[in-house]
Amino acid sequence: MFSFIHKIKQWYKHQKLIKQSVLIPITSYDQYAALVKEAKDNSKNKVFSNCYMLPAEIKRLIHLKKFYKVKTEQGLAFADDEGDYYYLFLYVNMSVSFTFPSLEKDILIENVYYEGRKNKKQEIFESFLLDSGCEFLNTYRSIEDRPSLSPDKFFKKLEVLEKTLALEGKKIAIPSYKQLDEFEKVYRSIIDKFVQKKYTRKERKAQADAGYLYCITDESASIYAIAIKACVHGGAYGSRSDCQNNIYAPILVLYLFKDFYDNMPNNPVKEKEYMQSKGIGGWIAVDNIPSWRVYKMVGIKAAAKSMNQFIIRTTM
């Protein structure tokens, strides 16, 4: 009941913020590009930005009507409405003080940097955020997307785990359209709300069609654990709350790499090149020890980037 009333209050304040032009919906990519150009042209000093999104992602947000310009005293701020919070990115002159707007949801701001090589501007940006009232939230480290297990070891491990699963009457499958609601329910129960994205049903269907989604299921089509390939915003994996201490999630993480090993060239030189090729990895909180253990199992290591998250909590 509290949650329902809270949602209505949030919706009311959201509409009010739009009426007051604190949140201005962005309706086209050209509008976004023109605003960024104007902010850069009008600033005496070079503006700093923590926007790491490519045009395709911005266009997706505009298409979903989730993208806003936020009224600020200086610079430019854009908010991506992620449902439970706003992901904010800025184009700002860091030598001028900045006040974050008061919105109806928490505001998340990220600063990405190369681990051990945070540059001066990135350091200043973090001080700028703290001085502007943000609170440090967490540090994440990127992971490689390429396992370092040899093909023999990989298939041996997978075979053992799949046999164990079969003995329980379960199997790994791509979720059917009918299972997508249950898939989404498990996903929403396991995600780190400040890292993983929420997708529409249409987007999920497309992801299932592309073979990016897997689950552990049984003859009754119940879902016990899910996994999403890293190409979908860094991927995700996890088990239903009553299956947390079993092997389901680790099996799926292993299985995510089956295609990679299936396509391994049958030639030692090419195999080495293939193992060293690159792909899209994900992010893990530095203090998420269980997750680091699972990735270690398939020989996945930390990669070059880290990210600090900062938050402005809503007073609503």
> Where on the chain is the footprint of another protein (CB under 8 A)?
29, 32-33, 36-37, 40, 46, 49, 51-55, 57, 112, 114, 121, 145, 277-280, 304-305
In the complex, the smallest distance separating the C-beta of residue 226 from another protein, rounded to whole angstroms, is 23
**What residues are paired with 89 via a beta bridge?**
78
- Confirm if 85 and 105 have CB atoms less than 8 A apart: yes
59 or 205: CB nearest another protein:
59
The helices-and-strands tally (H runs, E runs) of the chain is 11, 13
Compute the radius of gyration of the chain from its Cα atoms: 22
141 or 240: CB nearest another protein:
141
Q: Name residue, tokens 């809503």.
A: 314
**What residues are paired with 106 via a beta bridge?**
85
In the complex, the smallest distance separating the C-beta of residue 58 from another protein, rounded to whole angstroms, is 8
- CA dist 160 and 226 (Å) reads 19
In the complex, the smallest distance separating the C-beta of residue 17 from another protein, rounded to whole angstroms, is 25
In the complex, the smallest distance separating the C-beta of residue 143 from another protein, rounded to whole angstroms, is 13
In the complex, the smallest distance separating the C-beta of residue 97 from another protein, rounded to whole angstroms, is 23
51 or 62: CB nearest another protein:
51
Show the 3-state SS of 158-186: HHHHHHHHHHCCEEEECCCHHHHHHHHHH
20 or 277: CB nearest another protein:
277
In the complex, the smallest distance separating the C-beta of residue 29 from another protein, rounded to whole angstroms, is 7
- CA dist 124 and 45 (Å) reads 14
In the complex, the smallest distance separating the C-beta of residue 51 from another protein, rounded to whole angstroms, is 7
Torsion of CA 311, 11, 34, 118, to 10 degrees: 10
In Å, the largest CA–CA distance within the chain is 68
Q: How many CA atoms within 13 Å lie on the side-chain side of 293? A: 7
147 or 250: CB nearest another protein:
147
Q: Name residue, tokens 């201005």.
A: 24
**Contacts with 41 (C-beta within 8 Å, 6 or more apart), sequence order:** none
29 or 261: CB nearest another protein:
29
43 or 246: CB nearest another protein:
43
DSSP β-ladder status, 67-70 and 85-92: unpaired
